[in-house]
């Protein structure tokens, strides 16, 4: 059973694309957190294009997202090196996390038959409560959907 809206966000520590460890609980009582789970950076077919479209959508409203006292993390089963390459290639301003052991992916997004994270986004408030879960994602408008969700949080 994956985490749902209203649940307390379960803590994890994953390596960022720069190799530094990121612990979810370190943001409690200070920042809202958006976790964007996605299958993989580069796949053979269209999903990698979807990843880039989703990134572009989030980047387009990134200053407004951060203005809501929020950090954004993109999470997949890719290696730290793959995450670093992806962030550099597409000039992505937010942190990508590597979950090669699939611990956070399984708890939050769930995994598909091939073991990749299911595309989903979790909006977590400063108290560590999941305020919104988005599973049916329109990659083109996703950044705005995240921003709209954040604006509903009463701090």
For the chain, how many structural domains are there in total? 1
Tokens 């200053």: give the residue: 63
- The pLDDT tens digits of the residues spanning 73-92 come to 999 999 999 999 989 988 99
Reported pTM: 0.94
142 part of a folded domain? yes
Confidence of residue 33 (pLDDT cuts 50, 70, 90): very high
Please give the Cα distance from 105 to 94 (Å, whole number). 18
Is 105 an active-site residue? Answer: no
8 part of a folded domain: no
CATH code for the domain in which residue 139 is found: 3.40.30.10
Question: Which domain range does residue 29 map to?
Answer: 13-151
For residue 115, is it within any domain?
yes
pLDDT classification of 96: cutoffs 50, 70, 90: very high
Measure the CA–CA gap between 120 and 78, rounded to whole angstroms. Answer: 16
CA distance 14 to 149: 25
Q: Mean pLDDT check: name the lowest of 20-24, 47-51, 70-74, 81-85.
A: 47-51
**45, 46, 113, 155: the active-site residue:** 46
């Amino acid at each position: 059973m994956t985490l749902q809206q209203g649940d307390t966000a379960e803590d994890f520590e994953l390596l960022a694309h720069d190799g530094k460890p990121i612990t979810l609980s370190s943001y409690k009582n200070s920042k809202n957190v958006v976790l964007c789970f996605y299958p993989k950076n580069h796949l053979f077919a269209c999903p990698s294009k979807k990843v880039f479209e989703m990134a572009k959508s989030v980047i387009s409203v990134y200053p407004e997202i951060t203005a809501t006292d929020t950090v954004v993390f993109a999470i997949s089963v890719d290696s730290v090196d793959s995450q670093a390459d992806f962030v550099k290639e597409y000039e992505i301003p937010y942190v990508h996390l590597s979950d090669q052991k699939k611990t956070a992916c399984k708890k939050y997004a769930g995994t598909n038959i091939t073991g990749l994270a299911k595309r989903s986004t979790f909006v977590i408030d400063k108290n560590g409560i999941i305020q919104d879960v988005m599973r049916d994602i329109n990659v083109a408008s996703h950044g705005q959907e995240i921003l709209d969700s954040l604006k509903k949080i009463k701090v």
